[in-house]
Amino acid sequence: MKLKAPVSIAWIADFVEARLVGDSTIQADGINEVHKITKGDISFVDIEKYYARTLESDASVILINKEVECPKGKALLITKDPAGAYVKLVKHFCPFEPSSKMISDTAEIGEGTIIMPNVFIGNHCKIGKNCIIHPGVVIYDRTYIGNNVIIQSNSVIGGCFYFNKRSNEELLYLKLESCGRTFIEDDVEIGACCTIDKGVSGDTIIGRGTKFDNFIHIGHGTVIGKNCLFAAQVGVAGKVTIGDNVLLYGQVGVSKDLVIESNTVVLAKVEWVNHCLVVSVVWYSGSGCKR
């Protein structure tokens, strides 16, 4: 997420009660967790697995729970609870907005679009022209839908499920609040009872012309290309990248962080995990996947 205006590192350190190490002149202009970092961002790291990746990333400000040498041109904010500090910043810059109407006054709906009964459309959403949104659909805040999109009944667009596991605390899982968005491009069709999560700090994107059957789940921050076809009960975890013209047939599961290249076909009940290990293999073709 990009901020409306840059914020000084001194203010950030004071706000999250952290000790500043490094360049005290930095001004941050975004908030992103490790998978979506760009230059100028505030990010956080609290486990060994991601220390090097975060410190070597483009992040300008890093919330961290370990004494390390500060890379040149960055600022470290030393705190016992980097994830908690990150959540505090997200809540400040992207606070929850309750809704009092089924269709928010801040929502924009294009010409020729049909909104059926019992549809909820949240704050700061935009829906293009000639769409059909069927009964019972829920569209959360900061969702952007293109033209000629069909969403069938009881699908939920823009929810979020992302937790930070704690240690030695009564509350084992800390909810990482989302400041991300969801984009559904032109000519997409989403079946009944599908769930598409918004990005945690970036964007979830469903590419133009892609079609989903019923009971599809797409995790946070996943990017899906153009003209893909997913059959029933496909589950895709967070931070996955899927190319164009990919076919995933019934009950295919895709683990987090994977890349599935364009023109790949995966038939029913295939699970992609880690280094493309395939469980209950039926058949696949195309370029396959990679880490």
Q: Tell me which residues are annotated as active site.
A: 220
Q: What are the Cα distances from residue 232, in Å, to 70, 209, 212, 216?
A: 48, 17, 8, 6
Residue 76: other Cβ atoms inside 10 A:
25
Q: Are 40 and 29 in contact (CB under 8 A)?
A: yes
Sign of CA dihedral 260, 30, 72, 63: negative
**H or E stretch at 181:** strand 181-184
Q: What is the token pair recorded at 193? A: 């009872």
Largest CA-CA distance found in the chain, in angstroms, rounded: 58
What is the C-alpha to C-alpha distance for residues 234 and 194, in angstroms, rounded to an integer? 10
Q: Are 158 and 122 in contact (CB under 8 A)?
A: yes
Residue type, 109: I
Which residues are CB-contacts of 101 (< 8 A; sequence separation ≥ 6)? none
